[in-house]
Amino acid sequence: MAVDALVECVPNFSEGRDQSIIDAISKSIRDTPGCTLLDVDPGKSTNRTVYTFVGCPKSIVDGAVNAAKTAFKLIDMTKHHGEHPRMGALDVCPFVPIRNATMEDCVNCAKEFGKRISEEIGVPIFLYEEASTQAYRKQLKQIRSGEYEGLEEKLKDPKWAPDFGPAKFVPSYGASVTGARSFLIAYNVNILGTKEQAHRIALNVREAGRSDNEPGRLKFLKGIGWYVDEYKMAQVSMNLDNYLVTPPHMVFEECSKDARELNLGVAGSEIVGLVPLEAILMAADYYIQKENLFIIDESLKVRLAIERLGLSSCSYFDPKKRIIDYMVQEDLAVTQPLASMTLKGFIEILGSRTPAPGGGSASAVIAAMGAGLGAMTGWMTFGKKKFEALDSVMRELIPPLDKAMRDLIPYIDADTNAFNDYIKAMGLPKGPVRDEAMDKALKQAINVPLSTMKIASRCWEPMIKMAHHGNIASKSDLEVGAKSLETGIWGAYRNVTINLKDCKDPKYVESTTAEANAIIENANQSLKKILEILENRKD
């Protein structure tokens, strides 16, 4: 999906058992132009379904409105019963900034949604979180207190006049809460015990604890305990309002600790809806450090986190369908058309009658290959019984080479883009606007290859150590890697210096020239050192 601003909407509907209604709401979202439905997560015990879809601000509001209208027609709250707190057919409808969108954008989405729904179907709408300005009705639990059953009386109190729509009770619908918030992770830990035991753990870990005088251990965490009939086990059901402070793995470990103290078994955990990749990688890094593992490949880190947290214990956790970064990732053919080409295709376009891609893009490729060969030498050493004593050394050397290799790949396209931007600036009418655009584009055309040089230069120290300790059977691979690294740096250096000639900023020229010269000198010396080390090794 290629949109300038991407907003996520995660509406929770009070229906988790009637598949025809669940499907009808899904269809109303799918049929909205500009909306992409990512996930539908129904729960029978909770009698609630969480939908996750994304789109630009206008489309996301249209999708939410269409879904709410469908719920208004099909859901009858007078007959609704379920484990989860609720006050309306569309119970809560948060908008979340995902990419190139601000919290203010999402507040505007919530207000537009509330205004339209109140006008089009005549139901009360409350604002919460960032969209609300009143402290006593800012949190969802404050607004939803009393739930659907207490809503009729609540609406008679002027303090609880809705932000949009009439202050009247609509029995078949109830009321909706909408607002803007940061990414929330709905997370459940499975307990082989009773609802009461799960709730006891929830009281221990949730921020509110048991009372103001007895707060819980984890910040930005809301939680209750319940029993899920279809799973035949209890759950500590939680919302993680700030996963950067309180991530899933921390919650899992704390709940597991309390369960052990109660002599209860823990049978994995469950993420409801989608989860940011960052939260999964944080869990992986925690267990890697805890267990002294050596894993740097992202897919393997994801797999480790899934296994350690038991995320497939209730249903299969497919990272391609449950991690939002993977779901909304733009097609590499759009964002990195050169890097996503076949090697044959890239070489052919490199040799075609076009000025770009040129030497800068080729230099990024060559430098990335050099770093990759250095990492490969490490992998040819790590984990082999013959070199077991070197495992700790390889754990130190492989990650920076692997990272440099991956960091250099985007510069294949960045260099070509910088050249194209400079050509566009040259095509503007002569005048101050053109001069400013050309200066900006020229500096970008210098900074991109300079960045290639900087990233590649980070490889020299681990490459030199690799020459000392790496598997000697990979000697020629490391030699080619070192020469490729030096060649990539030299090629990027030539792009820097040729563009500096046209730069009219003397201070920038002076500082950039000094930096580039230092990098190229270090590359020359480092290559020489690596080749000498390898030539003199006897093992």
Return the active site residues.
Answer: 84, 415
In three-state secondary structure terms, 430 is: coil
Helix axes 391-408, 460-469, angle to 10 degrees: 140
In order of 206, 264, 271, 309, the CA distances from 267 in angstroms are: 20, 10, 14, 9
Name the residue among 252, 271, 110 with its Cα closest to residue 186. Answer: 271
For the chain, first and last CA: distance in Å?
53
- For 19, phi then psi, to 5°, come to -65, -30
CA–CA gap between residue 132 and residue 141 (Å, rounded): 13
Dihedral over Cα of 224, 226, 231, 236: its sign: positive
Q: How far is CA 88 from the centre of its chain?
A: 30
CA–CA gap between residue 100 and residue 243 (Å, rounded): 20
Q: How many CA atoms lie within 13 A of 156 on its CB side?
A: 3
CA–CA gap between residue 419 and residue 424 (Å, rounded): 9
In order of 35, 92, 505, 516, 528, the CA distances from 482 in angstroms are: 48, 57, 34, 19, 9
Count the residues in the chain. 539
Surface-to-core class of residue 515, CB atoms within 10 Å of its CB (0-12 exposed, 13-18 middle, 19+ buried)? middle
In three-state secondary structure terms, 99 is: strand
SS (HEC) of 456-507: HHCCHHHHHHHHHHCCHHHHHHHHHHHHHHHHHHHHHHHHHHHHHCCCCCHH
Q: Using omega within 30 degrees of 0 as the cis cutoff, is the peptide bond preceding 357 cis?
A: yes
